[in-house]
Structure 1
Amino acid sequence: MTDSTARPKLLQPLDRTALVLMLVLGLAIALLVLKGDRTAPHVRDFSWQNAHVGAEDTAFLLTFSRPMDRTSVEENLRLEPPLPGKFSWSGRRMAYTLEKPAPYGTQFEVRLQGARDRFDNSDDERTAIEPFLGKFQTRDRAFVYLGVEGEQEGRLVMYNLTHQQEQVLTPESLVVMDFEPYPDGDRILFSATDRTAQQQGSLDQRIYTVTTGIQVRSPDSLGGQDPASTSTEPQSAGVIQQLLDSQDYQNLKFDLSPDGQTVIVQRVSRENPGADFGLWILQPNAEPRPLETEPGGDFLIAPDSSSVAIAQGQGMAILPLDDQADPLDFLPQFGMVMSFSRDGTAAAMVRFNVEPQNPTRSLFLVTNQGTEEELFRTNGSILSAEFDPAKRVLYCLMTELLPTEAYLEQPYLIAVDLETKQRTNLLLLPIQRDIQMSLAPDGLGVLFDQVIAETEEGAEPGMLRSQEGKAIASSKLWFLPVVLAADGTPAPVEAQPLPLAGLRPHWLP
């Protein structure tokens, strides 16, 4: 007879071991969920770490290892020297947008300590962020100019104000006629003629580039990588490359796109100058090609680098650089575009007022919203205009006709407040038309030249000549600091002479 009572089944040793492990792991998971991760939060990435920051760099990013208490971060973030700005957030990422460009030639530190994560336990020191120190610097304060004396005559010269260094970039065999820096300041685009031909009165311009020796580690080029892993040997200064010859066409004016990828050159055929005249496009890894459009006058590539404003007929045409696309716009009331704002939302344009008894010129602010506002009117000339980085002030080089029997124009450097339309005369300049100015990329200074003309008796063949065709004996460079008044507009200050003899100074971006 069998026993009908079932005996309890005993756990095997392996089962008991597995059950114990399950209980231990479950308890550990429960404790972790209840108490959370006890490691301190930290900054995972700083987008400007060891970068060279330029005026186009307007915001840096801090990425954290966990969600942060935003107020504690904003209250404890320190920049030395200070840079005013505002905060914005997206998850674990914080952006700090500058109110204005950081001053060039300066090293900065970004410090953060004392900030806490979002699930802060104020009694636990481990919830405070690991102290963070980031470093970056702005680009050197440097400019390029055309030498006028001695061995520098007709050659491009770079002067680094930050390090007080001067360097001649182009060879003695070339006489530079015009130039424009590339966006990173590593190269200069220029037109030049052979010195021997120039001395014989021939202006046979070719288009070249020359290296400056500057290597910029921009935040975009680093892409969050260690600069040591991405750095390459900087190219030495003075390396020349010819972009365009002059065998079949004469090269006249040119312009470089803001992205540095397109050069537009105004050319005229040697065989058929009356019919074959217009703009040509040069782009990397492509043969030069003519832009299929009607011939025109002055032109300027727009900030989008894909369109050009050109004087055609009785107005300004906005044309795409793609031949297959339709014209973008035509502004019949304007005859010249002086400059665009950096973001492309505004332009400074000149209108010629046809008044038989009193012809004048007006400078207008034209926006992409279709508004047109007259800023000022003059019976003289409007030589140049540049927007400051904040698009608050327009700096203009203009002249007014003097009430004398001889035709004389008095030049001024003025600032126009684009909000109030108030005009401030910053500087009264010597009476001459051949003046050029350049506004620093950080908006903190203006360079300009003062040409000293040679007498016709003293003029020699091959001497540099002004835009008016007068021989140049010498030229001084001047620096005007931008000092803001209490209302935020520039105030008149005394210009400072630079110990440099040169023409057409141009800040490096």
Structure 2
Amino acid sequence: MERRSNKADKFKYLQPVDRAAIALMLVLIVLIGLLIWNGDRTAPRVRNFSWQNQQVGAEDTSFTLNFNRPMDHASVEANLQIDPLLPGKFSWAGRRMAYTLTAPVFYGTNYKVQLQGAKDKSKTESGKENEKLIDPFYGQFSTRDRAFVYIGVEPQEKGRLILYNVTQQKKTVLTPADMAVNDFKIYPEGRKILFSAADWLSQKPGVFEQQLYTVTTGINPLSPGKPETKPEAAGKINLVLDSKNFQNMKFDLSPDGQAIIVQRVNRNKPGEFGLWVIKPGAPPQPLENQPGGDFLITADSGAVAVAQGQGIAILPMTPKAKPLDFLAQYAKVFSFSKDGASAAMLKFNTNYTRSLFLVTNQGVQKELFKTTGSILDAQFDPRSDTLYCLITRLQKGEQDQDQEQPLLATVDLKKAKMTPILALPNQRDIQMSLSQDGLALLFDQLVTEKKLPKTGALTTNDGQAIVNSLLWLLPITPPTEGSKTQQQQPQQLPLPGFRPSWLP
């Protein structure tokens, strides 16, 4: 009894602040109990949208919405609205919803994302649905501007690399007048361009003084999941590879921008030639493999496909490595599908015809069509099972001599059916480029002369002097379910130039 009395006395003489603290704790305990008893009354909402205010490109294939509580999946999927429409598929992991696109985004477009009327998964104590509606969510993102790069032919732009922003209708000359650009490859996101060039005095047939450079484009997209970088002004040039001891020939840039493959010839030992690899922070290294012909870096940026003898060797980008695979009977790889699962390859047949094959990583080798003419290029449409091809057909010309008529054609990969869609100017050296969203195709129309090119003249791959060149744009209407692609007419662009290429 005495001990109880002491405890009562101690409680009696507690300070007011102590009594207030104890009372507050009791109130909180009661409130927590009521909250647990009645459930969480807060409304569901979107905590994070991964593409909010970002600038996305064709390589961005999915976005996520994170919610503050478990959601009713069906109600979210039924009420999510994207304007303009972007077809895709839903997947869930707890409170996180992912939306994976089934077709690329449209470039040069502002998108709005809206979610209203969705419900969470909360239930009352009796087990009935509580039907709490989500706080309305409004998000937005944009895509990169539609833009391309080409080599100019007009006197003030002759041999210079030029960027044209279609969305803004703005032209930017990237390289100086004393450089003659021969070829170029565009880095991911379009921040800079890798190009080969020589000064005009050495720009003549049979002379290879070209060096490799990079030039900035002034483009600085705010891409999802990547840190924001400081923008650089357009036209900043950096030397990548000189030509002091080696002649630099053909080159390619890996899709991830982390490797360059260059074909080089030793100036002191002309019989010594082969592929070299250049990676960031490391000096150029020879691969020291069997010499080959045409080559292309694979879609996963991990290997290079090289024409060797009677086939295509797939080589790792490490010196003296053994081939990963060898695809017999093929002469060239035109392109890889975006996922790297398929490739378009050229085969020369014994009856002097040529075939285009679809070769997959599952071992499928499917002949798509055969022609007596030439197959110049083939590029995968990112929106459908279609290849866009540049081909030629033999026609009788003057004095009954065979001439090759260039054609633009599509190939249905499922049906292996080739359909010509556009006759092109009578020339062999045509370059085409399919946009990253599959909605536009560029090609050039060269005007050449048969005279021997002079020093300082622009030349084709065949060594003919270029007098002029026009650029054409062919709009593409993507097929809808149950319908075919609608035929469009090409539009001549007021931009004299050649070798156009869309920015990624």
Judge same fold: TM > 0.5, yes or no. Answer: yes
- 3-state SS, counterpart of residue 30 of structure 1: helix
Partner of 2:406: 411
Amino acid in structure 2 at the alignment position of 1:398: I
TM-score scaled by structure 1?
0.91
Bigger shift: residues 415-424 or 206-215: 415-424
Matching of residues 304-319 of structure 1 within 5 Å: 304-319=300-315
The one of 383, 390, 395 equivalent to 1:397 is 390
The one of 266, 283, 287 equivalent to 2:283 is 287
- 3-state SS, counterpart of residue 182 of structure 2: strand
Establish whether residue 82 from structure 1 lines up as the match of residue 85 from structure 2: yes
Partner of 2:329: 333
Matching of residues 117-156 of structure 1 within 5 Å: 117-119=120-122, 127-156=132-161
- 3-state SS, counterpart of residue 75 of structure 1: helix
Residues 417-453 of structure 1: CA deviation (Å, up to 9, x unaligned): 1122222212111111011100000000100000111
The change in CA–CA distance for 1:260 and 1:14 in structure 2 (over 3 A counts) is farther
The one of 257, 262, 265 equivalent to 1:260 is 257
Amino acid in structure 2 at the alignment position of 1:506: S
TM-score scaled by structure 2?
0.92
- 3-state SS, counterpart of residue 177 of structure 1: strand
C-alpha contact 2:122 2:129 (8 A) present in aligned 1: no
C-alpha contact 2:246 2:264 (8 A) present in aligned 1: yes
Amino acid in structure 1 at the alignment position of 2:475: P
- 3-state SS, counterpart of residue 151 of structure 1: coil
Bigger shift: residues 472-481 or 446-455: 446-455
C-alpha contact 2:287 2:320 (8 A) present in aligned 1: no
Establish whether residue 380 from structure 1 lines up as the match of residue 373 from structure 2: yes
The number of aligned residues is 490
The change in CA–CA distance for 1:28 and 1:434 in structure 2 (over 3 A counts) is same
Amino acid in structure 2 at the alignment position of 1:413: L
Partner of 2:188: 183
Partner of 1:103: 106
Distance 2:358 2:381 in 1: 14
Distance 2:176 2:387 in 1: 36
Partner of 1:220: 225
The one of 10, 35, 38 equivalent to 1:35 is 38
- 3-state SS, counterpart of residue 473 of structure 1: strand
- 3-state SS, counterpart of residue 500 of structure 1: coil
- 3-state SS, counterpart of residue 163 of structure 2: strand
The change in CA–CA distance for 1:461 and 1:166 in structure 2 (over 3 A counts) is same
Partner of 1:352: 348
Partner of 1:496: 491
Bigger shift: residues 397-406 or 466-475: 397-406
Distance 2:206 2:391 in 1: 31
Q: CA deviation at 1:407?
A: 3.2
Residues 388-430 of structure 1: CA deviation (Å, up to 9, x unaligned): 1145111111111114432310111111111222222121111
Q: Can you give the 5+ residue segments of structure 1 that lack an aligned partner in the other structure?
A: 1-5, 223-229
- 3-state SS, counterpart of residue 426 of structure 1: strand
Partner of 2:16: none
C-alpha contact 2:385 2:413 (8 A) present in aligned 1: yes
C-alpha contact 2:248 2:265 (8 A) present in aligned 1: yes
Q: CA deviation at 1:207?
A: 0.5
C-alpha contact 2:190 2:219 (8 A) present in aligned 1: yes
Distance 1:76 1:497 in 2: 43
Establish whether residue 480 from structure 1 lines up as the match of residue 474 from structure 2: yes
- 3-state SS, counterpart of residue 34 of structure 2: helix
Q: CA deviation at 1:41?
A: 1.9
C-alpha contact 2:474 2:488 (8 A) present in aligned 1: yes
Q: CA deviation at 1:472?
A: 1.0
C-alpha contact 2:208 2:248 (8 A) present in aligned 1: no
C-alpha contact 2:208 2:249 (8 A) present in aligned 1: no
- 3-state SS, counterpart of residue 56 of structure 1: coil
The change in CA–CA distance for 1:324 and 1:195 in structure 2 (over 3 A counts) is closer
Partner of 2:443: 448
Identity score, percent: 55
- 3-state SS, counterpart of residue 495 of structure 2: strand
C-alpha contact 1:417 1:489 (8 A) present in aligned 2: no
Partner of 1:462: 456
Cα RMSD of the aligned pairs, angstroms, is 2.3
Distance 2:495 2:150 in 1: 10
Bigger shift: residues 389-398 or 321-330: 321-330
Amino acid in structure 2 at the alignment position of 1:258: P
Bigger shift: residues 34-43 or 238-247: 34-43
- 3-state SS, counterpart of residue 220 of structure 1: coil
C-alpha contact 2:62 2:100 (8 A) present in aligned 1: yes
